[in-house]
């Protein structure tokens, strides 16, 4: 290992040198860098601090900051923080009010060991070690203790620290590192490819444009190292604009302000990394049960009658519809908290929403941040009285969006959240919506403001919009100031997070229920407050495929409730594309059809073949909603995504690392969509195990070592498989989640090759602010199945059973899959807790299409879910 590391480090140093020589605008003098002047450990042993001083100065990108403070802390067994800042004055950094960074209570004191000028630091029980290299220039590295493998190493690269330009690099083992994350960007593959630049600068950009910055900034990546599949995570917690350059054998951060605040997460499994990452940045907010239903929206619904016709169209077609949405059409001249008096009068809107609620359906409307400058507009009047707008040169900055001239709220102002709460509260009193949608919050601005000071033209131009456009392009100028004097330059990327936080808190306070909030612009930690959709895509086959990548990336960013506009937002979709898109979109965590006003209508009932596909795919989705909701509980507890890349469940299988066209729902269900026009089959990768088609239960794939399989993909069907070793709790198909929750449960027990199966079900009322918490408001049921030569068994263990008992939740059917022939033919009898199952015929036995595995169905049960039970097949 040491010989390999030394050889690789030599080639890495050469590649970094060549990389630096290729950047003529960044030539730094020979000998540039910082030296380690001194170091010390705090008396508590919690922190190590080191003083760094410049060796040789350079004026490229401005003068150097001569003295730096290096702080290292082992914050948990699986997390190390490295903070590099100006030693002589405070600089901007992400406020702890947004992302608290107190040392956790399970901190372990550091141990030091000096080895020939290098300082090695460790902590009892820590899974990571830290090395400070005292040679010139100064560098540091993070390694995994169990293997000694280096995860991050700045040796051989330059540390640059100026007022508005920071740079730090690490080498990577290019043949073994597999990086994911660093968004938000539309990419052609989920795994990062060499020579990509990921720019972090929130921008109002069409998401169909690849390789440029979009609506959110998440400077976090996960690295899965082959061949063992050990994963770790790295976060640079910095809200300033930056370019992150991935060169295959190195990664370089070029940041235009703030500090270098790095966090390293040890893993070693992908799920562990997500647990450790969201422990720091915040656990994903629980989403209400109804939000997992199907949603319909369009910018361009003409009036209330149009909304009513859409709801009626879904009902007549028999396609589930949970929620109707209103885009900016409902507003009076596009002003927030108003209704168009001609087309959306309150006298029509209120009965429409009341009818939705009567039918068990929901309503969501949009809000934009720009407040129209209109002295007769009461929301504007109250905002002016509270003086909560963003300033430039001492006066309210005037931008332009849909209402025309606008001012933008300053979310750092202490009065803004109160103002926002009161406006939302008053409007919900008028029109009782069930959730909110905040858009254009990058902040989008139709103007390109001219520079007024040097903040508007930083010395290093990030790769904004893929072409190094000015950072003021289509947004508010960075020379604007917030309450307390903070510059927009430093906080631009935080706007969506701050608005989401205030909106989430307002909804919680107003309703007392679990908020549903959808946001376009995001930052690290946004998942604590909101769901996300991938923005303004286009009705193309490329965008259909890109939607999977966006969904998987946001799972990594701690925002599991995510989806893309089904059938495409802009452009005219086709029947075939829309059909394939609903087949895929039915399995997004957040499933919504949405379109721009200039495109053709594409509600799912307008084409017969699309309607048939929607009924089939959404039918399965609604049956799986108990599973989706249980995954939401897992996400809320551990940060684990709902939709996951295959490597999450199979990190030791290197063939899964490059897969961008399939995904898992949790650990148990795999989706393999058709993503090309005129496709009649898909080549799907099946990791090792048994896999059963969830639509018919009879088509099976047995993969002894991981293999690609050609699957038929009829035009109105998608391939969805359940993994052997699973227990899925399912409900009946229904038109709404309210009806589905009344149907009782079917348990699908799918045996793996070892003859076992496991699964969980979490249930609560679907709207309490917390998932879990107060005893009596939730139940968690764990299922275990075993198969042997005499038949099979299924038993349950219950936590918090009172809730399930009070709601009289029952198991009405159990289906066993994957039984071998011996076990299946002996299952002529079945009993629950020793009592023979009634119904006359006992268990029904059949075999799959190839005759390999037995399928046993037991119907007519009424077993209370809140009581532990054992179901036995055979003698």
Whether residue 397 contacts residue 389, with contact meaning beta carbons closer than 8 Å, is answered with yes
CA distance 626 to 210: 35
DSSP β-ladder status, 531-533 and 562-563? parallel
Residue 483 DSSP code = G
Please give the helix or strand (H or E) that residue 294 lies within, else none: strand 294-296
Helices 270-281 and 625-638 pack at an angle, to 10 degrees, of 60
**Dihedral of the alpha carbons of 189, 194, 199, 200, in degrees to the nearest 10:** 70
Q: Give the residue from 674, 757, 673 showing the smallest Cα distance to 723.
A: 757
Task: Give 862's Cβ-side CA count (13 Å radius).
Answer: 3
**788 catalytic residue (yes or no):** no
Q: Is 114 a catalytic residue?
A: no
* Other C-beta atoms lying within 10 Å of the C-beta of residue 71: 15
SS3 call for 314: helix
- Rounded CA gap, 476 and 480, in Å? 7
Max CA pair span of the chain: 90
Are the C-beta atoms of 285 and 528 separated by less than 8 Å? Answer: yes
**Which backbone phi and psi does 734 adopt, to 5 degrees?**
-160, 165
Report the SS3 class of residue 149.
Answer: coil
Q: How far is CA 491 from CA 39, 96, 274, 353, in A?
A: 32, 14, 25, 38
- Identify the three-state secondary structure at position 42: coil
Token pair of 31, please? 């000998």
Hey, is 613 helix, strand or coil?
helix
**120: part of which helix (H) or strand (E)?**
strand 118-122
Active-site residue identified among 26, 439, 499, 543: 439
Give DSSP secondary structure letters for 173-208: -TTT--EEEEEEE--SSSS--TTEEEEE------TT
Q: Is the peptide bond before 227 cis (omega within 30 degrees of 0)?
A: yes
d(CA 234, CA 222): 7
Which of the residues 410, 536, 543, 764 is marked catalytic? 536
Token pair belonging to 158? 């330059």
Residue in 402, 496, 480, 498 with CA at minimum distance from that of residue 443: 496
Q: Residues 329, 334, 335, CA angle at the centre, nearest 5°?
A: 130
Residue 592 and residue 435 in contact, taking contact as beta carbons nearer than 8 Å: no
Q: Helix (H, G, I), strand (E, B), or coil: what is residue 623? A: helix
Q: How far apart are CA 619 and CA 293, in angstroms?
A: 11
The CA angle 760-763-765, to the nearest 5 degrees, is 170
Q: How far is it, in rounded angstroms, from Cα 200 to Cα 202?
A: 7
Closest to 222 in 3D by CA, of 257, 186, 271: 271
Residue 387 designated active-site: no
| Paired tokens of 131 | 């090395």
- Show the tokens assigned to 577: 């594309």
Residues 410, 442, 456, 488: which is the catalytic one? 442
Strand partners, 758: 726, 784
Could you tell me which residues come within 8 angstroms of residue 338 by beta carbon, excluding any fewer than 6 positions away? 331, 332, 377, 379
* Lookup: tokens for 145: 């203790």
SS3 19: helix
**Kind of pairing, strands 111-115 and 79-86?**
unpaired
d(CA 64, CA 137): 15
Cite the active site residues. 439, 442, 536
């Amino acid at each position: 290992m040491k010989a390999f590391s030394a050889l690789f480090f030599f080639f890495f140093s050469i590649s970094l040198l060549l990389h630096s020589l290729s950047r003529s605008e960044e030539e730094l003098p020979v000998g540039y860098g910082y030296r380690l002047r001194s170091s010390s450990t705090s008396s508590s042993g919690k922190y190590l601090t080191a003083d760094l001083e410049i060796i040789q100065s350079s004026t490229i990108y401005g003068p150097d900051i001569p003295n730096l403070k290096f702080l290292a802390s082992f914050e948990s067994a699986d997390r190390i923080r490295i903070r590099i800042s100006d030693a002589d004055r405070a600089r901007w950094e992400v406020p702890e009010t947004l992302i608290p960074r107190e040392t956790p209570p399970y901190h372990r004191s550091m141990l030091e060991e000096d080895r020939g000028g290098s300082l090695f630091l460790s902590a009892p029980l820590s899974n990571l070690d830290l090395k400070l290299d005292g040679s010139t220039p100064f560098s540091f590295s993070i390694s995994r203790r169990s293997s000694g493998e280096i995860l991050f190493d700045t040796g051989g690269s330059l540390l640059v620290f100026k007022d508005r330009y920071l740079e730090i690099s690490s080498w990577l083992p290019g043949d073994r590192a597999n990086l994911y994350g660093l968004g938000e960007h539309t990419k052609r593959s989920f795994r990062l490819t060499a020579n990509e630049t990921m720019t972090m600068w929130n921008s109002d950009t069409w998401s169909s444009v690849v390789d440029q910055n979009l609506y959110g900034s998440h400077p976090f990546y996960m690295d899965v190292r082959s061949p063992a599949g050990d994963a770790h995570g790295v976060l640079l917690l910095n809200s300033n604009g930056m370019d992150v350059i991935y060169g295959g054998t190195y990664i370089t951060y070029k940041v235009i302000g703030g500090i270098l605040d790095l966090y390293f997460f040890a893993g070693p499994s992908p799920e562990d990394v997500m647990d450790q990452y969201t422990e720091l940045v915040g656990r994903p907010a629980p989403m209400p049960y109804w939000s997992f239903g199907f949603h319909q929206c369009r910018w361009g619904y003409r009036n209330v009658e149009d909304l009513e016709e859409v709801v009626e169209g879904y009902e007549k077609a028999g396609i589930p519809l949970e929620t109707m949405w209103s885009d900016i059409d409902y507003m009076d001249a596009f002003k927030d908290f108003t209704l168009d008096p001609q087309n959306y009068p309150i006298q029509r809107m209120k009965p429409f929403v009341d009818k939705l609620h009567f039918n068990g359906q929901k309503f969501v409307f949009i809000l934009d941040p720009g407040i129209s400058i209109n002295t007769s507009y009461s929301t504007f009047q109250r905002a002016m009285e509270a003086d909560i707008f963003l300033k430039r040169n001492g006066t309210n900055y005037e931008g332009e969006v849909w209402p025309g001239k606008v001012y933008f709220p300053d979310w750092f102002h202490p009065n803004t959240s109160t103002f926002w709460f009161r406006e939302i509260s008053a409007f919900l009193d008028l029109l009782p919506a069930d959730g909110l949608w905040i858009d254009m919050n990058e902040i989008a601005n139709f103007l390109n403001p001219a520079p007024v000071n040097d903040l508007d033209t930083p010395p290093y131009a990030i790769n904004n919009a893929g072409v190094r456009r000015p950072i003021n392009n289509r947004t508010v100028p960075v020379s604007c100031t917030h309450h307390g004097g903070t510059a927009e330059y430093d906080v631009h990327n935080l706007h969506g997070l701050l608005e989401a936080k205030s909106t989430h808190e307002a909804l919680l306070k107003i309703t007392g229920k679990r908020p549903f909030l959808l946001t376009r612009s995001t930052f690290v930690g946004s998942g604590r407050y909101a769901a996300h959709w991938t923005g303004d895509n286009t009705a193309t086959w490329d965008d259909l495929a890109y939607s999977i990548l966006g969904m998987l990336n946001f799972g990594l960013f701690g925002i599991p409730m995510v989806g893309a506009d089904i059938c495409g937002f802009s452009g005219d979709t086709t029947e075939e594309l829309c059909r394939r898109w609903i087949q895929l979109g039915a399995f997004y965590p957040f499933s919504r059809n949405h379109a721009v006003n200039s495109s053709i209508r594409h509600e799912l009932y307008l084409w017969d073949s699309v309607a048939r596909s929607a009924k089939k795919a959404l039918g399965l989705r609604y049956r799986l909603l108990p599973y989706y909701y249980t995954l939401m509980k897992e996400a809320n507890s551990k940060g684990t995504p709902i939709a996951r890349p295959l490597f999450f469940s199979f990190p030791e299988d290197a063939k899964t690392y490059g897969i961008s066209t399939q995904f898992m729902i949790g650990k148990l269900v795999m989706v393999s969509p058709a993503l090309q026009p005129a496709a009649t089959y898909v080549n799907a990768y099946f990791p090792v195990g048994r896999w059963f088609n969830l639509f018919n239960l009879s088509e099976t794939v047995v993969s002894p070592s991981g293999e690609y399989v050609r699957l038929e993909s009829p035009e109105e069907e998608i391939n969805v498989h359940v993994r052997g070793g699973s227990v899925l709790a399912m409900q009946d198909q229904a038109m709404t989640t309210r009806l589905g929750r009344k149907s009782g449960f079917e348990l699908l027990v799918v045996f793996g090759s070892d003859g076992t199966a496991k699964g969980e079900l979490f249930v609560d009322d679907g709207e309490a602010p917390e998932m879990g918490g107060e005893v009596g408001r939730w139940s968690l049921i764990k299922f275990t199945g075993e198969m042997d030569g005499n038949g099979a068994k299924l038993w349950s263990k219950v936590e918090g059973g009172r809730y399930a008992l009070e709601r009289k939740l029952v198991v009405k059917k159990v289906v066993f899959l994957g039984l071998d022939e011996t076990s299946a033919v002996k299952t002529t009898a079945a009993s629950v807790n020793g009592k023979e199952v009634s119904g006359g015929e006992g268990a029904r036995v059949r075999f799959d299409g190839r005759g390999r595995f037995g399928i046993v169905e037991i119907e007519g049960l009424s077993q209370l879910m809140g009581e532990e039970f054992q179901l036995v097949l055979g003698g």
